Structure 1
Amino acid sequence: MQVFKSPTETLGDLGAQAAAKLIAAATDIALVVDRQGVILDIAFNKDDLALELDGQGRWLGSKLVDIVTSDTQLKIRELLQVAIDRGSTGWRQVNHPSPTGEDVPVQYAAIDYGRDNRLIVVGRDLRQLAQMQRRLVSAQQSMERDYIKLRQAETRYRLLFQVAAEAVVIVDSTTETVIDANPAALALFEQNAPQMLSSPFPSHFTGSSAQAIINLLSEVRASGRDNRVRVHLANGPRDCDVAVSLFRQDNASLFLIRLSSYSTLPEAGGMKATGMLANYFESAADALVITRYDGRILKTNLAFLEMAQLGTAEQSRGESLDRWLGRTGVDFSVALANLRQSGSIKMFTTALRGEFGGLTEVEVSAVSLTDSEDQPSFGFAIRNIEKRLPAVAPSKRELPRSVAQLTELIGRVPLRDLVRETTDVIEKLSIEAALELTGDNRASAADMLGLSRQSLYVKLRRYGLAEHAPEGETSNE
């Protein structure tokens, strides 16, 4: 702080009244406090500030630290201590509570004027500054919200530009070069983005059509009204309808050009064939399913919905086919791996699980459906083969399955089911052989097998050999 160089000569013997007027005029708030911070005298330069802060006259005799908000009390303590130690302080901003509920910001500095251990604390009203700061923050937040809305709108229009089925090209009205083109336009001109961008737009049409495009752009540029023309593309004998609109962006005039190729419409015969194929897909007796590369279902027919016990096609769309196809989840993974590797599978035997527990023996054939995408789709034909299975009644003495038959069941039937089935067959054959060797003597057969007679009777009934058990014990477990 810089002080007067010769205050005695310039100010003379300045009295207390003159000093009080000078201090009150120079600041918004002036306080005389003792070293404990107790307010001994007060002066306000603004009546509205005095009414808001000390309208009830409670400041006189109070401690300065008690009339500020709790979060700024530490600043007041530091202010008084520095004034006592150094004689004067810098400015510190504190807040006073107000009856209106909104804190009043005040900037204070303290001076030890060397009399009776008293300090003079002067303050500046910061209400206008705080109001300007709030307006600035509000304006900044409003700008941020507008910027977010603008960015979201730009994202939506960019997404619409990219996914639109109609070919759209943005062309500079001065140079007639391509600035931007959506994927549909790139596909129509059969070019990639680096080739298309910055190229002259009329160069993508045949000679006479290129001149028609130049004339169209000149007419729209001059009149500002939309117009259209039918021209031929340079990459093939195809007619194309070109509609041009003029708009301004960033102080520049641009053309919005929409193109519709007539060759994209199918011929009448093709439409009829497509309709017949769609009808076949829906009404085929075999279940037909089209999946993505990862096995998730895109489309199914009614036969699949019936076999899978589903009510509508929406229940299956987007789900993985192995939710219904395959006994253990291994079948479908093996089939999908072979399909990806070889491109087709034929007559793969497995089972199809219904939504409500039904199990159907099926035969699956599938093929890879290549298209313009990097990863192909797959088409599955699923046929119910339960009606093919011979309905031959089992013989009295059924031979066990061969090793080849058991091998075919691996991956389709859990191991514990295979072991249980094999054990039951061997146990039944052993009991039948023991009965034959003993002349149908149950007691001797039980001794030969190492079983009690009661256990033998239980097994006889279990395997349908109850005719060998005595009548009095057939119901006794």
Structure 2
Amino acid sequence: MKLFKTARKSLGGLDAKAIGSLLAAAADITLILDENGVVRDMAIGNDALAEDLGDVSGWVGQPWIDSVMLDSRPKVEALLQDASLGEATRWRHVNHPIGPQGSVSVLYSTVMLDAEGRIAAIGRDQRLVSSLHQRLIDTQHSMEREYARLRHAEARYRVLFSLSAEAVVVIDANGHEVIEANPAAERLCGGKSLGGHSLLEVFERGDAGDVGSMLAEVRFAGRPSQGEARLAAGGAAVTVSASPFRQDKASLLLVRLVPRQDGPGTASLPAARAGLLRFAESAPDAMVVTAQDGRILSANTAFLDLAQLDAEEQAVGEPLERWLGRPGLEFEVLVATLRTRGAVRLFATTLQGEHGTGVEVEVSAVPLAEGSALGYGFAIRDIGPRLTPKPAEGPPLPRPVEQLTELVGRVPLKELVRETTDVIERLAIEAALQLTDDNRAAAAEMLGLSRQSLYVKLRRYGLGGDGVGED
């Protein structure tokens, strides 16, 4: 501690009031104690601290040690002892109780004032520092939890990567160097280690250039792609699928090697069954296989064209209702019908492409059972062109509409609009009942009506027979 060199000359003329103002301004809280440690006077220069401490008038005349928490009493005793010996005291954290559970942290130092043993305890508010310490501790705990989550995720990834039956390779997007390959990939490529080698080395010389061009296209276009090639080890035909991703500011490619069913060295299907699979893949109508929850497991090229997707990977794992029908309505009706009736034929709806283009389609679907897992197969046909007939050859208007058009010029427009609304409403209800096979709960949901409102309209238009309103 460095003291004033000419304290008597520079501060000797100050009276008690000036010294008191100086102490109050220099510290957040100042206590004047007698030789026994009893508070004789005090000043609080921090309004926020004064508000938190509340009424401290009871401190005067009481020992300082009685105004602190139990764990802080040894620190107060040490501060008083050091000051009475004339030694330089170090700053100590002291906690004052506030309320039933809280406390205020103050950093105190003491100094002997005169020969009579009076002591000044100078305190600094430590709430901001304590708050910062607590935030630092909370942040450290949060980081530790996040690190633990990442470690667990990486461990799960390692297990899945190693146990996956599908050959998966991670390569550098620039030089095609293999960074990581799972055991299935190494077995498929002849059992040799792939790490550190170029992925193009595993393909036959005539196909390596095509695979390299495909990987370069994925790198520059930033979207998945796939191609066909033969492996150098054994000449097996494989489908090469590549998807780009970034890690630690590096561009990487995730490459899947899927053996073709008709390639050498793989189990081949009977010729007729293999031909059926090839037909489904190249059929002009969209073919989609989904899991029980409606998420796509596989889709053919025609569906990718309708949905405006570049690769099957963009569709796999996504819900089919993202593209088919109105979300949350028609697809649920379709799946409910599949579960209850076992098949759906010529269900008319729309398919919305990824870029906003919609087409009218007809959907036929059946449940698929594979082991204990239940999924669904969908055949989707684009019927847009045939839904736009020529005006001259179009079907005649419904009879009520013909009658309404004859009334133009004979009745006021207001009444004509009301009659037209009733006709459209009736046609919409009839169409909803037809689409849902007279399931009134599903029809009400499709029309955006409550079930009771639908029953009222059915009675109004004389639809549904005498049992309207019965559940």
Q: With structure 2 as the length reference, what TM-score do the two structures score?
A: 0.55
Shift of 1:147: 1.8
Q: Provide the C-alpha distance between the structure 2 equivalents of 1:93 and 1:181, rounded to a whole number of angstroms.
A: 57
What is the 5 A alignment of 1:55-454? 55=55, 57-99=57-99, 101-193=101-193, 196-262=194-260, 263=264, 265-267=266-268
Shift of 1:100: 5.8
- Does the 8 A contact of 1:170 with 1:179 survive in 2? yes
**CA RMSD, 1 decimal:** 1.6
Q: Provide the C-alpha distance between the structure 2 equivalents of 1:14 and 1:46, rounded to a whole number of angstroms.
A: 24
Aligned residue for 1:31, secondary structure, equals strand
2:23 aligns with: 23
Q: Provide the C-alpha distance between the structure 1 equivalents of 2:161 and 2:59, rounded to a whole number of angstroms.
A: 68
More displaced stretch, 208-217 vs 149-158: 149-158
Q: Provide the C-alpha distance between the structure 1 equivalents of 2:196 and 2:41, rounded to a whole number of angstroms.
A: 79
Aligned residue for 2:241, secondary structure, equals strand
2:8 aligns with: 8
Shift of 1:64: 1.0
Q: Provide the C-alpha distance between the structure 1 equivalents of 2:84 and 2:54, rounded to a whole number of angstroms.
A: 26
Output the amino acid matched with 2:77.
R
Is the alpha carbon distance of 1:155 and 1:192 closer, same or farther for their aligned partners in structure 2, counting shifts above 3 Å?
A: same
1:382 aligns with: none
Is the alpha carbon distance of 1:268 and 1:256 closer, same or farther for their aligned partners in structure 2, counting shifts above 3 Å?
A: closer
Aligned residue for 1:86, secondary structure, equals coil
Q: Provide the C-alpha distance between the structure 2 equivalents of 1:114 and 1:264, rounded to a whole number of angstroms.
A: 101
Shift of 1:191: 2.8
Q: Provide the C-alpha distance between the structure 1 equivalents of 2:101 and 2:149, rounded to a whole number of angstroms.
A: 34
Shift of 1:265: 4.0
Output the amino acid matched with 1:143.
M
- Does the 8 A contact of 1:52 with 1:99 survive in 2? no
CA deviations 1:242-277 (Å, max 9, x no partner) are 1111111111111110001235642459xxxxxxxx
- Does the 8 A contact of 2:111 with 2:119 survive in 1? yes
Q: State the aligned residue count.
A: 267
Output the amino acid matched with 2:267.
P
Q: Provide the C-alpha distance between the structure 1 equivalents of 2:99 and 2:269, rounded to a whole number of angstroms.
A: 83
Q: Provide the C-alpha distance between the structure 2 equivalents of 1:267 and 1:20, rounded to a whole number of angstroms.
A: 99
CA deviations 1:5-64 (Å, max 9, x no partner) are 011222232111111110111001111111221111111002332233251521111111
Shift of 1:116: 2.1
Q: With structure 1 as the length reference, what TM-score do the two structures score?
A: 0.54
CA deviations 1:54-104 (Å, max 9, x no partner) are 515211111111111111111110110111112441211111111162211
- Does the 8 A contact of 1:89 with 1:111 survive in 2? yes
Q: Provide the C-alpha distance between the structure 1 equivalents of 2:56 and 2:225, rounded to a whole number of angstroms.
A: 78
Output the amino acid matched with 1:122.
I
When Rg is computed on C-alpha atoms for both structures, the one with the higher figure is 1
Shift of 1:123: 0.6
Q: Provide the C-alpha distance between the structure 2 equivalents of 1:39 and 1:56, rounded to a whole number of angstroms.
A: 11
Is the alpha carbon distance of 1:42 and 1:54 closer, same or farther for their aligned partners in structure 2, counting shifts above 3 Å?
A: farther
Shift of 1:135: 1.4
- Does the 8 A contact of 1:28 with 1:125 survive in 2? yes
Q: Provide the C-alpha distance between the structure 1 equivalents of 2:189 and 2:207, rounded to a whole number of angstroms.
A: 14
Shift of 1:144: 1.7
Aligned residue for 1:149, secondary structure, equals helix
Q: Provide the C-alpha distance between the structure 2 equivalents of 1:184 and 1:154, rounded to a whole number of angstroms.
A: 19
Tell me the percent identity: 39
Output the amino acid matched with 2:171.
V
Output the amino acid matched with 1:199.
H
- Does the 8 A contact of 2:167 with 2:182 survive in 1? yes
- Does the 8 A contact of 1:246 with 1:254 survive in 2? yes
Q: Provide the C-alpha distance between the structure 1 equivalents of 2:56 and 2:15, rounded to a whole number of angstroms.
A: 30
2:53 aligns with: 53
- Does the 8 A contact of 1:87 with 1:113 survive in 2? no
Output the amino acid matched with 1:69.
M
Q: Provide the C-alpha distance between the structure 1 equivalents of 2:177 and 2:267, rounded to a whole number of angstroms.
A: 32
Is the alpha carbon distance of 1:87 and 1:173 closer, same or farther for their aligned partners in structure 2, counting shifts above 3 Å?
A: closer
Aligned residue for 2:61, secondary structure, equals coil
Q: Provide the C-alpha distance between the structure 1 equivalents of 2:73 and 2:198, rounded to a whole number of angstroms.
A: 72
Q: Provide the C-alpha distance between the structure 2 equivalents of 1:42 and 1:104, rounded to a whole number of angstroms.
A: 17
- Does the 8 A contact of 2:236 with 2:265 survive in 1? no
Is the alpha carbon distance of 1:254 and 1:265 closer, same or farther for their aligned partners in structure 2, counting shifts above 3 Å?
A: same
Q: Provide the C-alpha distance between the structure 1 equivalents of 2:160 and 2:61, rounded to a whole number of angstroms.
A: 71
Q: Provide the C-alpha distance between the structure 2 equivalents of 1:228 and 1:88, rounded to a whole number of angstroms.
A: 78
- Does the 8 A contact of 2:170 with 2:181 survive in 1? yes
Gaps in structure 1 of 5+ consecutive residues: 270-477
Output the amino acid matched with 1:266.
A
Is the alpha carbon distance of 1:56 and 1:18 closer, same or farther for their aligned partners in structure 2, counting shifts above 3 Å?
A: closer
- Does the 8 A contact of 2:243 with 2:253 survive in 1? yes
Output the amino acid matched with 1:231.
A
Q: Which runs of 4+ in 1 moved over 6 A?
A: none
Output the amino acid matched with 1:151.
R
Q: Provide the C-alpha distance between the structure 2 equivalents of 1:79 and 1:12, rounded to a whole number of angstroms.
A: 27
Q: Provide the C-alpha distance between the structure 1 equivalents of 2:54 and 2:76, rounded to a whole number of angstroms.
A: 18
1:33 aligns with: 33
- Does the 8 A contact of 1:202 with 1:214 survive in 2? yes
Q: Provide the C-alpha distance between the structure 2 equivalents of 1:67 and 1:122, rounded to a whole number of angstroms.
A: 15
Q: Provide the C-alpha distance between the structure 2 equivalents of 1:97 and 1:51, rounded to a whole number of angstroms.
A: 13
- Does the 8 A contact of 2:35 with 2:116 survive in 1? no
CA deviations 1:165-211 (Å, max 9, x no partner) are 10000110111111100010011012343xx1111111111111111
Q: Provide the C-alpha distance between the structure 1 equivalents of 2:243 and 2:51, rounded to a whole number of angstroms.
A: 65
Q: Provide the C-alpha distance between the structure 2 equivalents of 1:223 and 1:199, rounded to a whole number of angstroms.
A: 24
Gaps in structure 2 of 5+ consecutive residues: 271-471
